[in-house]
Structure 1
Amino acid sequence: MKISTLGTLNNNKIQYSDNKSSIFNLPLESCKDSEDLVPEILRISRGKSLIKSNGFTLLELSLVILVIGIVLSLVLPNIGIHKSKLEKERQIEKISQIIKSVYDLSQVQNKEINLLFNLDENKFQAVSLIDGDEEFLLPEKKLSSALKIKDIVNFKGDKITEGIVSLIFNPAGFVEPATIHFIDSDSKFYTLFINPLTGQSYVEDGYWEEE
């Protein structure tokens, strides 16, 4: 009885023939496609692993989102704080520029000009007196709610915290010495120093007084 193509049964023993015509000895052209020798389930499994290796798992995506969230939570508040500080300093710098402009205007027009600071309403404007009548040289400007004039120290050393304070500019090229203190919404102080001989001014962080 014939058992297989590789051997015959002889005395209850399988004797293999010398004809080793296994699939490994088939000519290459007999194998039309090497994939024919790969089980279908193996090809599917291999395809799945390839897709998985080229993508992100849910855990990996979650970790990436978590890291981005942590970075943004650290960076964005600092950006906001820095922007707010710049805006407050910009307002003080604007006042500094106005002081210098009024100083120059007083000499050009050869007349005394008063820069009035209303501490109660947190605003200021420039006026001059002509025959007892006020001439408004600068439209009234108001500071934002994030920045307030805390007080003004005049040339006598008096600290004024309310009412209207007048800073007088003389056409001879002189402005009354004064120090203006500002406080912001975070209770941080800024000090504006005015040079009486040049009309120039500069700002320092903190609450400072000239000795």
Structure 2
Amino acid sequence: MSTAGNWNNARGFTLVETALAVLLIALFSALSIPLMGRLGDGALDGAARRLAGTVKYLYNESALSGRPYRLTFDLEEDVYRAARLEVDGTLTDEGTGPARQQRLKSGVSFRNLSIAGRGTFNSGEITVDILPVGYMEETTIRLGDDRNRILTLRINPFTGTTEIHEGDREF
């Protein structure tokens, strides 16, 4: 039995299939290339996302455990840490998981922190309490990097979610 005649029945890619493949590659390239220009912004964006995740984690932990939490921001050292308020009134540092002490990434710093009813702070240690009843103080945090890019983080006091906005925004 000869297989020489089977080559004529072999099916290749049609012009439409080839054009579709080229179109998809072009589309993915067009979407990816602008993102590569922002690779240097990753430290600032990452710091903002990590801080937002920590706030949401503490908000949920407070509601689930029935214990208040305190988030402390050291604006001069670019560090934030969490502590749980115990029944006897002592604070227990959260040394593990997302609640452990975090240092902002290299080149990223706190520009300032605003708390509704308390004002705007540019230095020192500032605390924000997270209550188990599902409330925390409305807080706006401005992070900046060494290229003068600024992100404004606004924490919703009733949900613990954080909105991240490009630039220095007022609310």
**CA contact 2:43–2:106 (8 Å) conserved in 1:** no
4+ residue runs over 4 A deviation = 78-81
Q: Residue 107 in 1 paired to residue 71 in 2?
A: no
Rg: which structure is higher? 1
**Partner in structure 2 of residue 128 of structure 1:** 84
CA deviation after TM superposition for structure 1 residue 133, in Å: 2.2
User: Which residue, 151, 156, 160 being the options, matches 1:195?
Assistant: 156
**Counterpart residue identity of residue 81, structure 2:** Q
SS of 1:107's equivalent?
helix
Matched, 1:177 2:138: yes
- Give the structure 2 partner of residue 23 of structure 1: none
1:96 counterpart = 2:52: yes
TM-score by length of structure 2 reads: 0.73
1:166-201 Cα shifts (integer Å, max 9, x gaps): 111010001110100111110111100111111111
Return the alpha-carbon distance in structure 1 between the equivalents of residues 89 and 134 of structure 2.
22
**CA distance in structure 1 between the partners assigned to 2:157 and 2:170 by the alignment:** 16
Structure 2 contact 67–132 (Cα < 8 Å) conserved: yes
| 1:204 maps to amino acid | H
The one-letter amino acid paired with 2:155 is I
Question: How many angstroms apart in 1 are the aligned matches of 2:43 and 2:131?
Answer: 31
Equivalent position of 2:126 in the other structure: 165
- TM-score, structure 1 as length reference: 0.60
Match of 2:170 in 1: 209
| Alpha-carbon shift at residue 139 of structure 1 (Å) | 1.9
Equivalent residue letter for 1:132:
G
AA of the residue aligned to 1:148: S
Q: Which runs of 5+ in 1 are unaligned?
A: 1-77
Match of 1:10 in 2: none
Match of 2:7 in 1: none
- Structure 1 residues 119 and 81, CA, compared in 2 at 3 Å: closer, same or farther? farther
Count of residue pairs brought into register by the alignment? 133
Q: Secondary structure at the match of 2:158?
A: coil
Structure 2, unmatched stretches of 5+, are 1-33
